[in-house]
């Protein structure tokens, strides 16, 4: 805990991420208005005591919509990264542990996947499957596992020849037990860093897709589609653009700081040099 608290990057990122998660979880209790409630009399009202961040063109409270939008963005980030980590750990552990032709086939498959432009692949898939939050989660996860696979493969390649693995083999432990109980837990550090940074990337992807109209569909609020609705009122209602943009910026910054803090925690030599 002392090492964690001394790491300013980790503490800063943890505070930002923690506040965002708390606001998202308790959004129904924190929000003062129905995020989909229309009140045309209060349309395009600026920030005030009644509406902390103002209202949009339909009179909906922007603060309430952003709180519920945080739920969408964070859910997409966590689920998509969870899918990517699961797939990456399966392929990476198989490649690193077995080596030989299995490693060659998986490595070449990873190289092929990395050749595809990820964003355009996601756009094409969403266009075929249709825009929905579950499709977005699955597509982002399925197209983002390659980095995790490379990390866990490299870790397992360096760990599988060590004495404690030889001891596990000597007492009759099977391949699956060695991978699941010994190799992955000891090589999980870089994967946690990658997953933390991946959440930030998934949030940006979801916001971009929603902004283009291929993500979460109205009236369900997300930070991306709030920005889409703000395009027509940019010149007269600056708050509808600024506050969701700041929310995306601060959240992504928080996850990047958290990931950088974890990187230093799992690499003590780098922390000592600083």
For residue 274, the model assigns a pLDDT of 47
SS in 3 state form for 148-173? HHHHHHHHHHHHCCCHHHHHHHHCCC
For the record, the structure tokens of 154 come out as 């490299």
What pTM, to 2 d.p., does this model score?
0.85
CB 89 within 8 A of CB 184: yes
For residue 108, the model assigns a pLDDT of 92
Low-confidence ranges of the chain (pLDDT < 50): 270-274
CB 42 within 8 A of CB 64: no
Query: Cα(48)–Cα(65) distance, rounded to whole angstroms?
Result: 16
The candidate with the shortest Cα–Cα distance to 150, out of 97, 80, 96, 113, is 96
When divided into structural domains, the chain yields a total of 1
For residue 251, the model assigns a pLDDT of 92
Q: What's the domain range around 206?
A: 2-273
CATH number (domain holding residue 168): 1.10.3720.10
Encode pLDDT of 21-75 as tens digits: 999 999 889 888 888 888 888 888 888 888 888 888 888 889 999 999 898 888 8
């Amino acid at each position: 805990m002392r090492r964690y608290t001394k790491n300013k990057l980790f503490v800063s990122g943890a505070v930002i991420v923690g506040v965002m998660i708390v606001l998202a979880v308790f959004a129904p209790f924190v929000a003062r208005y129905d995020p989909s409630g229309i009140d045309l009399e209060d349309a395009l009202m600026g920030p005030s005591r009644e509406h902390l961040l103002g209202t949009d063109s339909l009179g909906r409270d922007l603060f309430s919509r952003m709180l519920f939008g945080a739920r969408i963005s964070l859910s997409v980030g966590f689920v998509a990264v969870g899918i990517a980590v699961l797939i990456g750990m399966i392929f990476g552990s198989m490649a690193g542990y077995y080596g030989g032709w299995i490693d060659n086939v998986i490595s070449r498959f990873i190289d092929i996947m990395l050749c595809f432009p990820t964003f355009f692949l996601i756009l094409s898939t969403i266009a075929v499957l249709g825009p929905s939050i579950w499709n977005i989660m699955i597509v982002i996860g399925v197209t983002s596992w390659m980095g995790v696979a490379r990390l866990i493969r490299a870790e397992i390649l360096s760990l599988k020849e060590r004495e404690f693995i030889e001891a596990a083999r000597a007492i009759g432990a099977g391949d699956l037990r060695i991978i699941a109980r010994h190799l992955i837990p000891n090589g999980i550090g870089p994967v946690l860093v990658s997953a933390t940074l991946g959440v930030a990337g998934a949030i940006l992807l979801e916001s971009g897709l929603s902004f283009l109209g291929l993500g979460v569909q109205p009236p369900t609020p997300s930070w991306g589609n709030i920005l889409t609705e703000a395009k027509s009122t940019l010149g007269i209602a600056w708050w509808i653009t600024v506050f969701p943009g700041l929310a995306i910026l601060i959240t992504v910054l928080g996850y990047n700081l958290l990931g950088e803090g974890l990187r230093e925690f799992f690499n003590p030599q780098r922390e000592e040099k600083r």
